[in-house]
Chains A and B, each alone.
Chain A
Amino acid sequence: MSDHIISLQGVTKEFDTKNGKVVALRGIDLDISRGDSYGIIGLSGAGKSTLVRTINLLEQPTEGKVIFDGNVLTGIRSKDLNIQRRKISMIFQQFNLLMQRDAIGNICFPMEIAGVPRAEARAKAEELLKVVDLEDRAHSYPSQLSGGQKQRVAIARALASDPEVILCDEATSALDPKTTRSILKLLRQINEERGITLVVITHEMNVIKQLCNKVAVIENGEIVERGDVQEIFAKPKTRAARKLFFPASEERETPGIKTATRNRLRLAFNEKTAYKPIISNMILETGAPVNLLYANLDALLDEQKGQMVICLSDDKDAAERQKAYLIREGVDFTEIPEESDYYDYPLHGFSEEVTE
């Protein structure tokens, strides 16, 4: 046993297509620790879906090793693989429920496959329906359920085999924002209360922010950046990561904003400072105006994090007073060098130094 529940070592995947070879994954190394909620984020076509599917070998890697709970999965007999797969559940964007079985029948399905006695499976399925808050829909067929309810059935089904890991392949991408929040909440609860490791594939930063403690950014079949969500949110090193944390940065390139290139600060607010009227108090206290260029409030696993880009007063003394005020109030800030686009500048978070 190691504390890495999943290890990918040099995983490469090539597809033969009509237009020649396409490389979907290029030598991926990835370790996921027990109990993590590990997000893998990338734009569509980056290879994230292929990556998650190599974990349970729905996709056979062309090269490299997949290790689950200390066992090498690549190259073992399909019978042995099937036994290992029972400990790795999966939920899908399109739910993939059996349309001809009712909710409870769907939840019993993995237990049937594993040879659990019928009565025992039934009882457990009923328990799981309670966990996902669908006790009253046991005998509804998928066609009678809403998208969110279908995903709840799929989550109950995923829990039925007492898995170590649940792979979530764009699990909320087909759901509306409200349903998405409730599904993410349920998944987080499962991660926290049952200690089940989650691997979360998504193209939406919000999913990572609400659900994950670790994140890997994938681009062109390679992991370009990885680490704690908090850290990467604070200091994304690559352009790919910045793009994902600042999804609309490209669109924000308006002429009005471009004119302000001097005296810019990026402020980072934390739990303590996020709710205070910092800017208006600063203006009142220093008697000098500031120009607000960008502001955003975010939550990482429910912790409030805010960021703001402001342009200080042209008056040097006033600008110094403004900075002093910010230090006094405990707001972290970084100066943005002249001529660099602020959205392309490393997002400063909770410390003073910025590395590029």
Chain B
Amino acid sequence: MDTHTLITLLGEETVKTLLMTLVGTLVSYLIGLPIGVSLIITSPNGIKPMGLYNKVMGFIVNVIRSVPFLILMIALMPYIRKVIGTGIGPKAITAALIVAAAPFVARLVEQSLMEVDPGVIEAAQAMGAGTFQIIWKVLLLEGRPSLLNGAAVAMINILGYSAMAGTVGGGGLGDVAIRYGLYRFQPAIMWITIIILVILVQVMQEAGIRIASKLDNRIS
């Protein structure tokens, strides 16, 4: 393969990986954030304790999280094919990513919101704030730095999932590494993809930390 083709290939696949990661993260948050918030407020010490819901939702989250991503993806394939028409390629992989990542995001969100000072929540209750006001104005705002750090962790995790999806023909950098590096014995290409992945992770982590601390008014 000449250099030009290689660069084009790597460029295209990097974009695919990034798209899968971004869309996967975004949709995972759309699902996982409300679930995480609901786990916090329905916990026994939360602002709206609901024991049964909390236990059932916690259980579902744990079940999905306990299945390794590769196995979950393969198990989900027939269902994903039914729903979106295909079981392979970036679209199918993104769907699988979301199923796997949303519960993970829910736990990350729960963890972040647990750090919010219960005294501040109590102060808001004493002022007569309703449940949604407390969620919007207290939990999410006070938990913002930790939520953003969690988002960087989630994104990096989802990037890892998307690379793993290469083994089942998912497209993206993982796919390149397996097809060229493993099946065609071209370790150089494998190493290039690894280097690109490392750079992506570094950038995401660094950006996450910077944005989080920039938006944190506790340190200044």
A residues whose Cβ falls under 8 Å from a Cβ of B: 56, 58, 78-79, 81-86, 88-90, 92, 94, 96-102, 109-110, 112-114, 141-144, 161, 167
Contact = CB atoms under 8 A, between A and B. Distances in A.
Contact of A92 (B119, B128, B137, B141): B119
B68 interface: no
B46 to A, nearest CB: 14
22 contacts: A82-B129, A83-B128, A84-B128, A85-B127, A85-B128, A86-B128, A89-B126, A94-B117, A97-B120, A98-B120, A98-B138, A98-B141, A100-B216, A100-B218, A109-B127, A110-B127, A110-B128, A112-B137, A113-B130, A141-B218, A142-B218, A143-B220
B217 interface: yes
Contacts of B137: 109, 112-113
B52 interface: no
Contacts of B122: 58, 92, 96
Contacts of A94: 117, 119
Interface string B93-113: 000000000000000000000
B179 interface: no
B123 interface: yes
Nearest to A79: B130
The main secondary structure of chain B at its interface with chain A is helix
Interface residues of B, number: 23
A113 B124 contact: yes
**Residue among B127, B138, B142, B217 with max Cβ neighbours from chain A (10 Å):** B127
A82 B218 CA distance: 29
B122 to A, nearest CB: 6
A268 to B, nearest CB: 41
Contacts of B219: 143
Contacts of A82: 128-130
Contact of A85 (B126, B133, B144): B126
B123 A99 contact: no
Nearest to B129: A113
Contacts of B217: 99-102, 141, 143
A150 to B, nearest CB: 12
